[in-house]
Amino acid sequence: MQRSAALVFLLTVFACSRTPREPETRETALNAEPAERPSSSNTAPPSVAASVLSAPAETAEQPFRFPGAERVVALGDLHGDLASTREALRLAGAVDDEDRWIGGKLVLVQVGDQLDRGDDEPEILELLERLAADATKSGGALHVLNGNHEVMNVAGDLRYVTEDGFRDYAATAVPTGKNLPSGVQAAARGRAAAFLPGSPIARKLALRNTIAIVGDTLFAHAGVLPKHVRYGIGRINDEVRRFLRGESAALPEIAGGEEAPIWTRAYGGPAPATETCRELEAVLASLAVKRLVVGHTVQKSGITPACNDRVFRVDVGLSDYYGKNATQALEIRATGVKVLASR
């Protein structure tokens, strides 16, 4: 009787008593510092029963739940910096000095944002594609997620492309029968054409997931909220996939809005709100995982945990745009979680 009453209470809390917050606009999100959150407590209550979120069956066009491994390593945002990308891959034990896969059965997860802010985007995309194939041949895996910057480029939002990033794709012609987004300047036409929905590049991005589960860890570029679980992880992955392939004109709000898995800042601040940590407990319990790993919001002091070590933030601003902060990666083993650092 007491357990039933407790469950009813939790349902009421999630459905009815959320404090509304002013949404952060995507136009300012990328340059904004994490908002300060109440810091009196970030301790989450005991795990909430998985049934609370009523997660739908895990059906999707492509799998998003993968087996774990002896070593799982997560890398944060790369933002067009090939030198820092190589350094991070070496730190993870994935490649040698010649960029050859030496990770064996290592499972590597890169949480999105390879594009924008840097000049080496084609090289990074090519390197990650090759390494994914080599990792599979060796019995390991490389899972590359889509972040907000991948989706922005396909949507024609090129505000964060460098001059070199425009030159890299300047020779790309607009396909017959296709139109560029309105307002695209002459210097940006090639870039916009290269990333049009349904283009070869966009179709390669569509092969990726937006949210993935590896072993007992949940990965997303920015975060996973209770409403994402209720909507369906596989369904969100498929919505993004269809948009990238040009099969849908726009993303639904839950996949592309301010609180989407590629945009939310709920977990990025120094001390996420107590309510946020409580909701994260419900998310993890519903998906039968132990932790969430996200990027998106730069952690200037390095990889940081929050919500009683239930979420790890791995975007350390390792690219040149952010001043090449210390290169770090998150290693996940059955015995625990450890930060790997180059210096």
| Local structure of residue 273 (DSSP, 8 states) | -
CB distance 257 to 228 below 8 Å: no
Query: DSSP string spanning 93-153?
Result: T-B-TTS-B--TT-EEEE-S--SSSSS-HHHHHHHHHHHHHHHHHTT-EEEE---HHHHHH
Catalytic residue selected from 79, 143, 149, 228: 149
Annotated active-site residue 149? The verdict is: yes
Measured N-to-C along each axis, helices 2-16 and 274-287 cross at an angle, to the nearest 10 degrees, of 120
CB distance 277 to 264 below 8 Å: no
Measured N-to-C along each axis, helices 121-137 and 82-91 cross at an angle, to the nearest 10 degrees, of 20
- Rounded Cα distance, 182 and 165, in Å: 20
Q: Could you give the residue ranges of the DSSP H alpha helices within 232-272?
A: 233-244, 253-256
Q: Which of 101, 111, 176, 113 is nearest to 141 (CA)?
A: 101
Q: 121 exposed, middle or buried (CB, 10 Å; 0-12, 13-18, 19+)?
A: buried
Q: Which of 71, 83, 67, 62 is nearest to 146 (CA)?
A: 62
Write phi, then psi, for 297 (nearest 5 degrees): -110, 120
Which residues are known catalytic residues? 149
